[in-house]
Protein backbone atom coordinates (compact mmCIF):
# COMPACT_ATOMS: atom_id res chain seq x y z
CA UNK A 1 0.00 0.00 0.00
CA UNK A 2 1.32 3.37 -1.01
CA UNK A 3 0.65 6.57 0.90
CA UNK A 4 1.27 10.23 0.08
CA UNK A 5 2.08 12.60 2.94
CA UNK A 6 1.64 16.31 2.16
CA UNK A 7 2.86 18.34 5.11
CA UNK A 8 5.11 21.42 5.19
CA UNK A 9 6.24 20.92 8.78
CA UNK A 10 9.43 18.94 8.09
CA UNK A 11 9.56 17.19 11.44
CA UNK A 12 5.94 16.18 11.33
CA UNK A 13 6.27 15.03 7.73
CA UNK A 14 9.25 12.86 8.62
CA UNK A 15 7.59 11.54 11.77
CA UNK A 16 4.47 10.48 9.84
CA UNK A 17 6.52 8.93 7.02
CA UNK A 18 8.67 6.94 9.44
CA UNK A 19 5.65 5.61 11.32
CA UNK A 20 3.93 4.64 8.07
CA UNK A 21 7.03 2.88 6.74
CA UNK A 22 7.37 1.08 10.07
CA UNK A 23 3.77 -0.08 9.65
CA UNK A 24 4.58 -1.60 6.26
CA UNK A 25 3.50 1.13 3.83
CA UNK A 26 5.48 2.76 1.05
CA UNK A 27 5.52 6.53 1.37
CA UNK A 28 5.97 9.50 -0.95
CA UNK A 29 6.34 12.92 0.62
CA UNK A 30 5.58 16.45 -0.48
CA UNK A 31 6.26 19.68 1.42
CA UNK A 32 3.93 22.08 -0.39
CA UNK A 33 0.50 22.10 -2.02
CA UNK A 34 1.69 22.25 -5.62
CA UNK A 35 4.02 19.30 -5.35
CA UNK A 36 1.42 17.38 -3.36
CA UNK A 37 -1.25 18.11 -5.94
CA UNK A 38 1.02 17.00 -8.77
CA UNK A 39 1.90 13.70 -7.09
CA UNK A 40 -1.71 12.92 -6.17
CA UNK A 41 -2.69 13.73 -9.73
CA UNK A 42 -0.12 11.48 -11.39
CA UNK A 43 0.59 8.60 -9.00
CA UNK A 44 -1.84 5.97 -7.68
CA UNK A 45 -2.07 6.21 -3.89
CA UNK A 46 -4.03 3.97 -1.55
CA UNK A 47 -4.48 6.93 0.81
CA UNK A 48 -3.30 10.53 1.24
CA UNK A 49 -2.54 12.46 4.41
CA UNK A 50 -3.03 16.11 3.54
CA UNK A 51 -2.28 19.10 5.74
CA UNK A 52 -4.75 21.97 5.29
CA UNK A 53 -2.31 24.83 5.84
CA UNK A 54 0.29 24.48 3.07
CA UNK A 55 2.51 26.89 1.11
CA UNK A 56 1.95 27.44 -2.66
CA UNK A 57 -1.54 25.88 -2.64
CA UNK A 58 -3.66 25.23 0.45
CA UNK A 59 -4.84 21.73 1.24
CA UNK A 60 -8.52 22.43 0.58
CA UNK A 61 -7.74 23.68 -2.96
CA UNK A 62 -5.52 20.65 -3.59
CA UNK A 63 -8.33 18.36 -2.54
CA UNK A 64 -10.96 20.23 -4.56
CA UNK A 65 -8.84 19.91 -7.69
CA UNK A 66 -8.27 16.21 -7.21
CA UNK A 67 -11.96 15.54 -6.72
CA UNK A 68 -12.93 17.76 -9.65
CA UNK A 69 -10.53 15.76 -11.81
CA UNK A 70 -12.03 12.47 -10.65
CA UNK A 71 -9.27 11.36 -8.25
CA UNK A 72 -11.08 9.20 -5.71
CA UNK A 73 -8.32 7.97 -3.35
CA UNK A 74 -9.14 8.23 0.37
CA UNK A 75 -7.89 11.51 1.86
CA UNK A 76 -7.31 12.24 5.54
CA UNK A 77 -6.85 15.95 6.27
CA UNK A 78 -4.79 17.40 9.12
CA UNK A 79 -6.43 20.49 10.55
CA UNK A 80 -5.22 23.09 13.02
CA UNK A 81 -6.67 22.79 16.50
CA UNK A 82 -9.88 24.76 17.05
CA UNK A 83 -10.35 25.43 13.35
CA UNK A 84 -13.72 23.74 13.02
CA UNK A 85 -14.29 25.61 9.76
CA UNK A 86 -11.30 23.74 8.22
CA UNK A 87 -12.97 20.43 9.01
CA UNK A 88 -16.24 21.52 7.41
CA UNK A 89 -14.45 22.93 4.34
CA UNK A 90 -12.32 19.79 4.09
CA UNK A 91 -15.22 17.38 4.27
CA UNK A 92 -17.18 19.48 1.79
CA UNK A 93 -14.17 19.42 -0.52
CA UNK A 94 -14.14 15.61 -0.45
CA UNK A 95 -12.04 14.58 2.58
CA UNK A 96 -12.89 11.14 3.97
CA UNK A 97 -11.69 11.85 7.50
CA UNK A 98 -9.74 14.39 9.52
CA UNK A 99 -7.42 14.59 12.51
CA UNK A 100 -6.85 17.83 14.43
CA UNK A 101 -3.35 18.86 15.45
CA UNK A 102 -1.69 18.06 17.74
CA UNK A 103 -2.36 14.36 17.34
CA UNK A 104 -0.89 11.03 18.27
CA UNK A 105 0.67 9.33 15.26
CA UNK A 106 -1.11 6.12 16.32
CA UNK A 107 -4.46 7.81 15.70
CA UNK A 108 -3.44 8.85 12.20
CA UNK A 109 -2.25 5.30 11.48
CA UNK A 110 -5.53 3.82 12.71
CA UNK A 111 -7.55 6.20 10.56
CA UNK A 112 -5.40 5.50 7.50
CA UNK A 113 -5.84 1.74 7.99
CA UNK A 114 -9.60 2.20 8.25
CA UNK A 115 -9.73 4.36 5.11
CA UNK A 116 -7.75 1.85 3.06
CA UNK A 117 -9.83 -1.03 4.33
CA UNK A 118 -13.14 0.65 3.64
CA UNK A 119 -12.03 1.78 0.19
CA UNK A 120 -11.39 -1.90 -0.57
CA UNK A 121 -14.76 -2.91 0.92
CA UNK A 122 -13.55 -4.46 4.18
CA UNK A 123 -15.25 -3.41 7.43
CA UNK A 124 -13.01 -5.22 9.92
CA UNK A 125 -9.31 -4.65 10.64
CA UNK A 126 -8.73 -8.39 10.20
CA UNK A 127 -8.98 -9.45 6.57
CA UNK A 128 -9.45 -13.13 5.80
CA UNK A 129 -8.95 -15.19 2.69
CA UNK A 130 -9.39 -18.91 3.29
CA UNK A 131 -6.70 -19.95 5.82
CA UNK A 132 -4.93 -16.59 5.45
CA UNK A 133 -5.48 -13.79 7.90
CA UNK A 134 -4.10 -10.27 7.60
CA UNK A 135 -3.99 -8.32 10.85
CA UNK A 136 -3.81 -4.75 9.53
CA UNK A 137 -3.32 -3.33 13.04
CA UNK A 138 -0.16 -5.30 13.72
CA UNK A 139 0.93 -5.46 10.04
CA UNK A 140 1.15 -9.23 10.30
CA UNK A 141 -0.17 -12.17 8.39
CA UNK A 142 -0.85 -15.74 9.45
CA UNK A 143 -1.72 -18.99 7.76
CA UNK A 144 -3.98 -21.41 9.64
CA UNK A 145 -3.18 -19.47 12.81
CA UNK A 146 0.59 -19.72 12.37
CA UNK A 147 2.36 -16.37 11.93
CA UNK A 148 4.01 -15.97 8.52
CA UNK A 149 7.55 -14.68 8.38
CA UNK A 150 7.42 -12.13 5.59
CA UNK A 151 9.88 -9.51 4.39
CA UNK A 152 8.52 -5.99 4.04
CA UNK A 153 8.14 -6.46 0.28
CA UNK A 154 6.31 -9.75 0.71
CA UNK A 155 4.02 -8.21 3.33
CA UNK A 156 3.15 -5.28 1.06
CA UNK A 157 2.43 -7.60 -1.81
CA UNK A 158 0.26 -9.93 0.26
CA UNK A 159 -1.50 -6.99 1.91
CA UNK A 160 -2.41 -5.49 -1.47
CA UNK A 161 -3.62 -8.83 -2.82
CA UNK A 162 -5.67 -9.50 0.32
CA UNK A 163 -7.32 -6.08 0.21
CA UNK A 164 -8.16 -6.83 -3.44
CA UNK A 165 -8.82 -10.56 -3.20
CA UNK A 166 -10.88 -12.07 -5.98
CA UNK A 167 -9.72 -9.35 -8.39
CA UNK A 168 -7.11 -9.76 -11.09
CA UNK A 169 -4.30 -7.35 -10.25
CA UNK A 170 -1.72 -6.58 -12.93
CA UNK A 171 2.00 -6.56 -12.35
CA UNK A 172 2.10 -2.86 -13.21
CA UNK A 173 -0.48 -2.06 -10.53
CA UNK A 174 1.34 -4.16 -7.95
CA UNK A 175 4.59 -2.39 -8.81
CA UNK A 176 2.96 1.03 -8.45
CA UNK A 177 1.55 0.19 -5.03
CA UNK A 178 4.69 -1.48 -3.67
CA UNK A 179 7.37 1.08 -4.45
CA UNK A 180 7.73 4.80 -3.85
CA UNK A 181 8.36 7.26 -6.67
CA UNK A 182 12.14 7.21 -6.28
CA UNK A 183 12.48 3.46 -6.52
CA UNK A 184 13.94 2.00 -9.69
CA UNK A 185 10.96 -0.13 -10.58
CA UNK A 186 11.13 -3.29 -12.52
CA UNK A 187 7.87 -5.18 -12.78
CA UNK A 188 9.75 -8.45 -13.30
CA UNK A 189 10.68 -8.42 -9.63
CA UNK A 190 6.98 -8.84 -8.82
CA UNK A 191 7.18 -12.32 -10.31
CA UNK A 192 10.02 -13.15 -7.95
CA UNK A 193 8.05 -11.96 -4.92
CA UNK A 194 4.96 -13.86 -6.05
CA UNK A 195 7.11 -16.99 -6.22
CA UNK A 196 8.38 -16.42 -2.68
CA UNK A 197 4.89 -15.78 -1.36
CA UNK A 198 3.63 -18.96 -2.98
CA UNK A 199 6.34 -20.91 -1.23
CA UNK A 200 5.14 -19.49 2.09
CA UNK A 201 1.36 -19.68 1.68
CA UNK A 202 1.02 -22.59 -0.71
CA UNK A 203 0.87 -22.47 -4.49
CA UNK A 204 -2.90 -22.83 -4.88
CA UNK A 205 -4.05 -19.43 -3.65
CA UNK A 206 -2.34 -17.01 -6.01
CA UNK A 207 -3.42 -17.75 -9.54
CA UNK A 208 -1.53 -16.40 -12.54
CA UNK A 209 -4.00 -15.01 -15.04
CA UNK A 210 -2.09 -15.15 -18.28
CA UNK A 211 -1.32 -11.75 -19.75
CA UNK A 212 -3.37 -9.97 -17.08
CA UNK A 213 -1.82 -10.51 -13.68
CA UNK A 214 -2.50 -12.34 -10.46
CA UNK A 215 -5.58 -13.20 -8.44
CA UNK A 216 -5.66 -14.19 -4.78
CA UNK A 217 -8.65 -16.29 -3.78
CA UNK A 218 -9.46 -18.86 -1.11
CA UNK A 219 -8.47 -22.40 -2.11
CA UNK A 220 -11.35 -24.30 -3.66
CA UNK A 221 -12.44 -27.13 -1.33
| 14 vs 27: CA distance, rounded Å | 10
| 75 vs 73: CA distance, rounded Å | 6
- Shortest Cβ 63–Ca ion spacing (Å): 14
Q: For Ca ion, give the closer residue by CB, 8 or 34.
A: 8
Q: For Ca ion, give the closer residue by CB, 10 or 137.
A: 10
| 141 vs 150: CA distance, rounded Å | 8
Residues contacting residue 19 through CB under 8 Å, at least 6 positions apart: 105, 108, 109
Q: For Ca ion, give the closer residue by CB, 53 or 218.
A: 53
- Shortest Cβ 80–Ca ion spacing (Å): 8
Q: For Ca ion, give the closer residue by CB, 8 or 180.
A: 8
Residues contacting residue 88 through CB under 8 Å, at least 6 positions apart: none
* Binding-site ranges for Ca ion (CB under 5 A): 8, 51, 53
- Shortest Cβ 81–Ca ion spacing (Å): 12
- Shortest Cβ 79–Ca ion spacing (Å): 10
- Shortest Cβ 48–Ca ion spacing (Å): 15
* Start-to-end CA span in the chain (Å): 30
Q: For Ca ion, give the closer residue by CB, 53 or 202.
A: 53
Please, what's the b/e burial string for 45-57 (b: 16 or more CB within 10 A of its CB; e: otherwise)?
A: bbbbbbbbbbeeb
Q: For Ca ion, give the closer residue by CB, 62 or 194.
A: 62
- Shortest Cβ 51–Ca ion spacing (Å): 4
C-alpha distances (whole Å) from 98 to each of 8, 15, 87, 200 are: 17, 18, 7, 38
Closest-CB residue for Ca ion?
53
Amino acid sequence: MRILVVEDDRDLNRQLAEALIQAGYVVDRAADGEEGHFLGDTEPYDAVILDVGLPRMDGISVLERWRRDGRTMPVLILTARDRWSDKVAGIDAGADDYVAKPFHVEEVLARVRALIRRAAGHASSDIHCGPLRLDTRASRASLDGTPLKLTSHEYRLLSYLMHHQGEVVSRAVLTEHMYDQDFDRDSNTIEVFIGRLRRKIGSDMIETVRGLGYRLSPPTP
